[in-house]
A = this chain, B = another copy of it.
Amino acid sequence: VLRATTAISAAIAHGVNSIIPVADLDTARKYQEEGYIVAAERNGQVVEGFDLGNSPYSYMNPDLKGKDVVLTTTNGTRAIDMAKHMDQVVIGALVNLDSVIQYLTEQNKSVLLLGSGWKGKFNLEDSICAGAIADALIQTGNFKAEEDSTIAAKYIARSARENIFGFLKASSHRRRLRNLNLNKDMKYCLTPNTLDVIPVLKGNAIVNVSHALVEK
């Protein structure tokens, strides 16, 4: 949620053709040598020598419309890499929360909610997002929580939902990001349902689901 999956959703919503997630900087550099536009973020900042980081605003650039952008981030793209062997990988964020919930409800398949976290550790914002998705799916009556962590995430999401931004003021991760002067990004990332996109992994690239269906 802060910020890879939000940036991916924003990119897809603003006309970027695809995001190619890669787990490490070496792979990112190889794509760069081949002439790709490459975004690389580590510890909240753009890595030196790369064009973009993971601020969602940087993907609203008209020059990126129709382009394929390679992306590597501290946590998000590693989680996508871990999940790539699943039947389907859907990119969820708060900005596209209801779109993802609707899509998963329609698919009616088993769902594993994988939060990227922060350097291998639990974080609040991904748990709030996962918990909100779980809560909505369970309420359809067609899904049940298999793990205690899902139930916990549901209650964390309920505790936070009136004011996610305020809730995260207590979060170490948020404090870290505040130090980087990312208040504007934070507000964007933590405002639910501003985008109607469902980014999914197709081969090695993330595209909007409608695009993925057309090409099937």
Which residues of A approach B to under 8 Å, CB–CB?
A: 118, 121-124, 127, 145-149, 151-152, 155-156, 158-160, 170-173
Contact = CB atoms under 8 A, between A and B. Distances in A.
Main secondary structure of the interface of A (DSSP, over half): helix
Nearest to A160: B155
Identical chains in the assembly = 2
Contacts of A156: 152, 155-156
A122 B149 contact: yes
B146 A124 contact: no
A189 to B, nearest CB: 15
A172 B158 contact: no
Nearest to A174: B148
A79 B124 CA distance: 24
Contact of A124 (B118, B152, B158): B152
Contact of A151 (B118, B146, B152, B170): B170
23 contacts: A118-B148, A121-B148, A122-B148, A122-B149, A123-B148, A124-B148, A124-B151, A124-B152, A127-B148, A145-B170, A145-B172, A146-B172, A147-B172, A148-B172, A148-B173, A151-B171, A152-B152, A155-B155, A155-B159, A155-B160, A156-B156, A158-B159, A159-B159
B127 A152 contact: yes
A169 B79 CA distance: 31
Contacts of A152: 122, 124, 127, 152, 156
Contacts of A170: 145, 151
A155 B160 CA distance: 9
A114 to B, nearest CB: 14
Contacts of A160: 155
Nearest to A146: B172
A105 B151 CA distance: 30
Contacts of A124: 148, 151-152
